[in-house]
């Protein structure tokens, strides 16, 4: 059976997107002569006078941050998207193009970009926040999603941590991009979840979570309200998926006990990542909630966590060659990755005792 082998090359289908990933476990023992990255040290100062996110500091635009004491959000000074009025002013020039209209197609896009500061202390990260501090971050996520969902079709909450993931500022923060159309990943996930719902009358990711909990091979953390697994179809070596235990369409409807359980799970999981690589582990994390505000019974809220590291803090995964031209591929099996993550979580917990 493919799910139990650690030596046979095979492909696995991503039930959430319909795409495939090649798994080549026999390559895991090959010698490595690739890139070596210097380990990243955490900031040693609670306040950085050069940081544009620290309390009281001036940003590039001249705006001054308040002396905030907890999570705080503001509109991005250099947004990737602009509001409807600004977009409509430029729409004519954006959409004009020569050639065949089916080959040269463009469309205006409007949206809003927000920056979410997690904590005033420059040294902190989600993995080092206390449970109450992490709970305050979850509360900020909920408030932002609740506000933006009524105005935009897709609300993408995400965090890039570390320079390896393109983060230009080490202050603990995340972002939200809210847009008036469905981006590519949302379209793929919606298509697969709707198809499953129509065929089976159940929620794809609810069934998947229950199956993973029963099998246990890829389970990383499980608490009263949330489950974290290395997905069967994982692309990144130590990728994880965070899933609620009841049907939830978006963050703005999770209950107080679920919020606290989520804060606990995320802190535990991210400390496990740090312990696994003995460094502040870089990652991209993002939440996928149902589009818009209309009921979407097929959709299940979930978070993706994508760390780029492969063998150690100094060796990362690159998507090149066959992966860019044909199909993504991994050497380490998801089952092996989950085992190592579980062990790292236990190690991280023991250090806190």
Q: Where are the chain's structural domains?
A: 72-179, 183-352
Report yes or no: 141 and 287 within 8 Å, Cβ to Cβ: yes
Residue 107: its pLDDT value, please?
87
Average pLDDT per consecutive 10 residues, the chain (353 residues; last block may be shorter):
66 97 81 47 83 97 97 96 67 63 87 98 96 98 97 97 88 97 97 98 98 98 98 97 98 98 98 95 97 95 94 82 94 95 92 73
Residue 3: its pLDDT value, please?
46
Report yes or no: 228 and 242 within 8 Å, Cβ to Cβ: yes
Residue 163: its pLDDT value, please?
86
What is the CATH number that goes with domain 183-352?
3.30.428.10
Residue 350: its pLDDT value, please?
80
pTM here is 0.92
Residue 296: its pLDDT value, please?
96
302 CB neighbour count, 10 Å cutoff: 20
Residue 31: its pLDDT value, please?
52
Residue 36: its pLDDT value, please?
46
DSSP helix/strand/coil, 329: strand
State the Rg of the chain over Cα.
21
CA 113-114-117 angle, to 5 degrees, is 155
Residue 39: its pLDDT value, please?
47
Residue 141: its pLDDT value, please?
98
Residue 233, CB-side half-sphere exposure with 13 Å CA sphere: 14
Q: Which phi and psi (to 5°) does residue 193 adopt?
A: -70, -40
Residue 177: its pLDDT value, please?
97
Residue 34: its pLDDT value, please?
45
Query: Domain 72-179, what fold?
Result: HIT family, subunit A (3.30.428)
Residue 26: its pLDDT value, please?
80
Domain 72-179 and domain 183-352, same fold? Reply is yes
Would you call 173 a catalytic residue per the annotation?
A: yes
Residue 105: its pLDDT value, please?
86
Chain Cα centroid distance, residue 215: 24
Residue 298: its pLDDT value, please?
98
Q: Which among 173, 250, 288, 304 is annotated as catalytic?
A: 173
**C-alpha–C-alpha distance, residues 183 and 286, integer Å:** 14
From the list 284, 261, 239, 274, the residue with the least C-alpha distance to 345 is 274
Pairing of strands 302-306, 283-288: antiparallel
């Amino acid at each position: 059976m493919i799910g139990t082998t650690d030596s046979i090359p095979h492909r696995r289908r991503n039930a959430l997107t319909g795409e495939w990933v090649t798994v080549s476990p026999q390559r895991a023992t090959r010698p490595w002569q690739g890139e070596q990255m210097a380990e990243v040290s955490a900031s040693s100062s609670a306040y950085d006078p050069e940081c544009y996110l620290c309390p009281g500091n001036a940003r590039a635009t001249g705006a001054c941050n308040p002396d905030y004491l907890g999570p705080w959000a503001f509109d991005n000074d250099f947004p990737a998207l602009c509001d409807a009025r600004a977009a409509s002013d430029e729409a004519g020039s954006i959409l004009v193009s020569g050639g065949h209209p089916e080959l040269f197609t463009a469309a205006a896009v409007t949206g809003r970009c927000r920056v979410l500061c997690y904590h005033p202390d420059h040294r902190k990260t989600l993995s080092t926040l206390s449970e109450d501090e992490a709970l305050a971050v979850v509360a900020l996520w909920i408030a932002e999603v609740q506000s933006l969902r009524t105005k935009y079709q897709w609300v993408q909450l995400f965090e890039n941590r570390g320079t390896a993931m393109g983060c230009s500022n080490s202050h603990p923060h995340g972002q939200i991009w809210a847009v008036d159309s469905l981006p590519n990943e949302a379209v793929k996930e919606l298509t697969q979840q709707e198809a499953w719902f129509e065929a089976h009358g159940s929620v794809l990711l609810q069934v998947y979570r229950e199956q993973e909990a029963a099998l246990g091979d890829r389970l990383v953390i499980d608490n009263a309200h949330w489950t974290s697994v290395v997905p069967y179809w994982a692309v990144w070596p130590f990728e994880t998926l965070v899933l609620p235990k009841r049907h939830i369409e978006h963050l703005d409807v999770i209950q107080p006990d679920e919020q606290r359980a989520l804060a606990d799970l995320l802190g535990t999981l991210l400390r496990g990542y740090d312990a696994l690589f003995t460094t502040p582990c870089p990652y991209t994390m993002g939440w996928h909630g149902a589009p818009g505000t209309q009921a979407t019974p097929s959709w299940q809220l979930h978070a993706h966590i994508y760390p780029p590291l492969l063998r150690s803090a100094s060796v990362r995964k690159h998507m090149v060659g066959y992966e860019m031209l044909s199909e993504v591929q991994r050497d380490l099996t998801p089952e092996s990755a989950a085992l190592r993550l579980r062990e790292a979580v236990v190690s991280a917990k023991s250090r806190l005792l």
